[in-house]
Amino acid sequence: MNTTMQFWSWFKDNNKAYLFLHSVDNDVKEQLLDNFFQQLHQYCDNIYFEIGGNPDKDQELIITAEGNEKYFDKVEELVNAAPQIVGWTFIAFKPSIPGHFKSQWGDLELNTEDMWFVPLSNNNNSDLGIRVLLRNYDLIKESETLTPLLYKMLDTILGEKSFALNIAYVETNLQPDDPEQEDGMYPILELSEYIERHKSQTTQSSG
């Protein structure tokens, strides 16, 4: 297995090609991505990456464990060892992305504007679960892509690390006609704020 130093030494020598991923031919792009995966997996074969950003700004290299807590330390170790390289910003874990969005997986599409949640508390510990309420749940509840799409969206709403560490359980159910009139129901984009309140209350009660 390679060390962090070996990975970053390779990336220093090859990074300029990755600044132009968005504009090269598909064949070249696939070869570059394959090379990157090979180098990254020589360091740890359970972490992954995303490259993107505005062409007029620094490109972002996100190192991710795809929510697998066992490899969070490998992600942090690698990003913490990153050198300064002109044109690049290095990020540990997929960050949260603010604002409403739609996400699609096959024929299934979900919109955060139509998603609410109910917190589920566990009397035995501080773990937090959520019940996600969906407007057209009866039509989509049998879909094989519902759970993976929902998890992907929660990853985007909270960020990879927060979703993995702060949400212990997720279930789904039908949304009532007027969720804003129901006590204890919150728009899905308020989930991050609710987590912070929950953590604060848990700390106070255990202190």
Q: What is the pLDDT of residues 144-164, one digit of tens each?
A: 999 999 999 999 999 999 999
* Residue 207 clears pLDDT 90, i.e. is over it: no
What number is the average pLDDT over the span 69-92? 97
Q: What is the pLDDT of residues 84-93, one digit of tens each?
A: 999 999 999 9
* Residue 183 clears pLDDT 60, i.e. is over it: yes
Measure the CA–CA gap between 28 and 14, rounded to whole angstroms.
14
pLDDT of residue 201: 81
Indicate the angle between helix axes 4-18 and 26-43, nearest 10 degrees.
Answer: 170
Identify the three-state secondary structure at position 170.
Answer: strand
